[in-house]
Amino acid sequence: MLWERVQAILEANRVERENRPRVAGRPLLTGLIVDDRGNMMSPSHCLKKGRRYRYYTSQAVLQHRPVTAGTLTRVSAPAIEQLVEDRLCALMAGAGRRDWERLTVQEKARRLAVLVRRIEVGAERVRITLPHGEGVDPGNALHLMQRGESLIEDVDERILEIPVRLKTWGGRRVIVGPDGQDLTARPRVDEALVKALARAHRWCRRLASGQVASVSELATEAGCTKAYIRQILRLAFLAPDLVDAILRGEQPRRLTLGTMLETEIPLAWNEQRRLLGFPSR
């Protein structure tokens, strides 16, 4: 049943969060990252509503020299770190990729000091400079080039150039490509949306079985409005492949519970896929 699947997913997410290694020691890209005018970018952070947000900030700004700063003076640390890791893993041989996932943050930082000479960040591109012969296979760059990225060969180094833009999604700063897609996107389960799906199917079953006589009774029992009940119930009629994608965290980034509730979801599955941004079948 859907409810059991949802509970398993939520429990797996909870365990993953509890077991996720805490960031300790110096940040991953310290000493490697510069803005596009050559100013070193240093780790920084700020606190907002009790949450700590990490960044790399141009020394030109920190030293009150804004006129000498590059086109991007601050970048989200998790976003740029994830982008660099993803691209390095894409260029490594298979064994190198598997080994990388097992490294601690400190071990990754030491490995990066060997693999990477420089990471240059601007408002429209990121350039990762790599020495020749350090576990990177240029043949693995083909699929990156097909996405508009390029690997430039020089005498003693290679430069991976990635067109980028910064964008805010769900309160989180992400790095996107020219097509607007998150360059570091990985499956990400939206717990609010997953819970709403389970609730929709449970409410629909209760109405169909006669356990509750009407939407009004269901609203009274749940302590919410009839309008909200009807909005949630629409989710029970999503195509099965869309439900599976949402449970796996593979829905389009813009598709949140809020956008779903604001959308008149058609009953036709093909129309649902088109309207909600899923591939057609």
Rounded to whole angstroms, the Cα distance separating 207 from 201 reads: 10
Chain centroid, CA 102 distance in Å: 20
For residue 159, the surrounding DSSP H or E stretch is strand 157-163
Ranked by mean pLDDT, the top range of 4-18, 35-49, 185-199, 245-259 is: 35-49
**DSSP assigned state of 160:** E
81-119 tens-digit pLDDT:
988 988 887 777 655 666 777 788 888 888 888 889 999
Residue 31 is predicted with a pLDDT of: 94
| Cα angle value 182/183/186 (rounded, 5°) | 75
| Long-range contact pairs involving 254-260 (C-beta distance under 8 Å, separation at least 24) | 254/169, 255/190, 255/193, 256/170, 256/190, 256/192, 256/193, 257/190, 257/192, 257/193, 257/196, 260/193, 260/196, 260/235
The mean pLDDT of 136-162, rounded to a whole number, is 75
Whole-prediction pTM value? 0.59
* Amino acid residing at 150: S
Distance between terminal CA atoms of the chain? 25
Which neighbouring-strand residues pair with 153?
Answer: 158
Q: Is the pLDDT of residue 21 over 50?
A: no
Residue 69 is predicted with a pLDDT of: 95
From the list 119, 162, 164, the residue with the least C-alpha distance to 29 is 119
Q: How many residues does the chain have?
A: 281
